[in-house]
Structure 1
Amino acid sequence: MKNLTIVAACLVLASSAVAQQGRPGRSANLQPKQTNQTRRGDASDMVLRKAAKEVARARDLLGHALPIYQGHRVAAIQETKDADKEIALGLRFDRNHEGRGAGAQAAQNDNDDPAKHSKEQVARSNRMLVQAGEILVGAKKQLQGAEHDYGGHRVKAVQEIDEALKQIETALSVVGYRR
């Protein structure tokens, strides 16, 4: 009987020692272990999410500008959609190493004659494009500062933003805008 009590006590002590050690990657209090890589990934994800918001903000400005830029404003809008898609794919890739593309959006008209609009309307529209370009430059810098590659999608998003910036410059030149 005494031996049985000693064996039971040893089993209780051994099981509590094993429980305190926990599983690999967990501390004694069962909290997930934070590695530098995990924290950096979360910070990098936040950078991409912030850049995505900026790209959407720029696209909103482009969408509210007048349709007078011979298709270049619309092309810039499409490039921002493509950049958003790449950012989303990158974040999804980082989570599970796979992604699916988004569907195409309906085309917009961008061939109105600027003379159909007042000079003030055209000037306001031009300012929208300039502001959208400035926002995209900021989003591009954020993406370039991210620490992860996201399966190449981060770089593709930067390329899409570069294309959008080229389209904005061309759109502004179409209506004779000079900085």
Structure 2
Amino acid sequence: MIPIVVGTESDDPFAIDIGRYCGQVEDIADLISLKTFANSEFCPRYIGEIPNEPGFALTGRRVAIVSSASAWLSRDELAMRTLLVARAARDNGAASVVLVEPDLFYSAQDRGPRADQGDTDFERDLADRRKFEGQPFSARLYAEMLSLAGVDCVVTIHNHSVSVGAEFRKRMPG
């Protein structure tokens, strides 16, 4: 079955190209509405056949979410949109959710200040841990949030480090 390919913003050429490559005939705009409420909150809505019972329109389907760089939205905004698009897919019965994010967001913050915050291919010394003093271990948080939103696996070109890859593998079976 062809996956449903959607994006996190309208008319993303990368998302459109991936959809076409996967054999998707429908325009992304005909599959998902990317609505913003008057109070500026984002609310995605999958469009399609309405089942008898609400919440089952995507039952058995694989959803691929494409989230790439934007001239109009910050990485923070795109990340939150990704979480909501993934949750909408899961809340409507999607069997699996795959995120395609070429430059994985928050991967530069690949470890925290404590020795147990980040898997590295080198022994972390005090100087390395001090570089992260006072900072969040954002790569771990992003992996946890994506998993909680229902993302099964992430496809990326650049995950920054061994530590980031390890964090995502721990939280996502795909």
Give the TM-score category using the shorter length.
under 0.3
Higher strand share: 2
Higher helix share: 1
- TM-score normalised per structure 2: 0.26
Larger RCO, structures 1/2 (Cα 8 Å, 6+ apart): 1
- TM-score normalised per structure 1: 0.25
Structure label with greater radius of gyration: 1
